[in-house]
Amino acid sequence: MNILLLGYGKMGKIIGEIAESRGHQIVGRINLENRDELETINPKEVDAIIEFSQPESAVENIKWGLDRGLPVVSGTTGWLSRKAEVEAMANTSEGAFFYASNFSIGVNIFFKVNTYLAKLMNEANEYKIAIEEIHHTEKKDAPSGTAITLAEGIIENISSKSTWDLSGQSADSERSIPITSKRIDPAPGTHIIQYSSDIDTIELIHTAHSRKGFALGAVLVAEWIKDKKGVFSMDDFLSF
């Protein structure tokens, strides 16, 4: 299939390498420096768009694809205040939109474990809950989209929590989950969920060793979404 890459930083380059190794053709590699080349792309020659750019570019990139009836797979974080707007556009277009805060199969298993643990901990009010995420220094948004997804999974299942905040910034610390964001090279991504009491501490940890897991997941989703229409997520893609 023919894939257009919108965003060609470190992640975009790995996605391109994996896509080509799986027999796909990259019809364009677009970033801020060559964005004018986007208008030379023939949409009829594109089967799917994989969009890993920057928060300030994501919505414009996604809309470009949806306007042309193309499926767009996006992993850019930091723009989600406009996600409902983009999903509404996808539902009325001839294209498709797939967003995930993390495309790693391992991380998505981690999401499921996080949700299950939160259900078990709902009545354990003696435990304080905190999340820590560590990424490379080139990651601009904080907290990470993965950390936000983890916090949302806890909030949905623990009745005493209703929001999250960057550590120390909440006006209602009793109902908020603090997230600590650290930027340390060359960390591709570590997420820690901690339940701590005077008696003991329970921790869930996921550590990525490279970006390859994220990139492979994005390519697999692009293969899956080809010819589909509508709005999709990892729950649609995964069978567990």
Query: Percent of the chain, pLDDT > 70?
Result: 98
Number of structural domains found in the chain: 2
Q: Are residues 129 and 77 in the same domain?
A: no
Handedness of CA 184, 185, 191, 193 (dihedral sign): negative
Residue 231 is part of which domain span?
2-103+212-237
pLDDT greater than 70 at residue 226: yes
Same domain, 33 and 64: yes
Query: For residue 158, what pLDDT is reported?
Result: 97
**159 and 217, same structural domain?**
no
Confidence of residue 171 (pLDDT cuts 50, 70, 90): low
DSSP string covering the chain = -EEEEE--SHHHHHHHHHHHHTT-EEEEEE-GGGGGGGGG--GGG-SEEEE---HHHHHHHHHHHHHTT-EEEE---S-GGGHHHHHHHHHHSSSEEEE-S---HHHHHHHHHHHHHHHHHTT-TT-EEEEEEEE-TT--SSS-HHHHHHHHHHHTT-TT--EEEETT--S-TTTEEEEEEEE-TT---EEEEEEE-SS-EEEEEEE-SSSHHHHHHHHHHHHHHTT--EEE-HHHH---
- pLDDT grade for 168, boundaries at 50, 70 and 90: low
* One domain for residues 87 and 181: no
Q: pLDDT (tens digit, 9 = 90+) per residue, 93-146? A: 888 999 998 899 999 999 999 999 999 999 999 999 999 999 999 887 899 989
How many Å apart are CA 104 and CA 84, to the nearest integer?
23
Euclidean distance between CA atoms 174 and 161, whole angstroms:
8
Q: Check whether residue 140 and residue 190 sit in a common domain.
A: yes
Sign of the CA dihedral 149, 84, 73, 239? positive
* Region 72-80 average pLDDT: 93
Tokens for 203?
């921790």
Q: Do 49 and 221 meet the contact criterion of CB atoms below 8 Å apart?
A: no
**Same domain? 91 vs 121:** no
Average pLDDT over residues 82-88: 95
CATH of the domain at 54: 3.40.50.720
Looking at the fold, whether 114 and 98 belong to one and the same domain comes out as no
Mean pLDDT of the chain: 93
Query: Which residues are the active-site residues?
Result: 135, 139
Same domain, 168 and 92: no
Q: Domain holding 133: CATH number?
A: 3.30.360.10
Q: Provide mean pLDDT across the span 21-38.
A: 95
Tell me, yes or no, whether 158 and 221 share the same domain. Answer: no
Q: Are both 109 and 199 inside the same structural domain?
A: yes
Is 153 found in the same domain as 81?
A: no
pTM confidence score: 0.81
Q: Strand 128-135 to strand 176-183: parallel, antiparallel, or no bridges (unpaired)? A: parallel
Same domain, 7 and 86: yes
pLDDT score for 78: 86
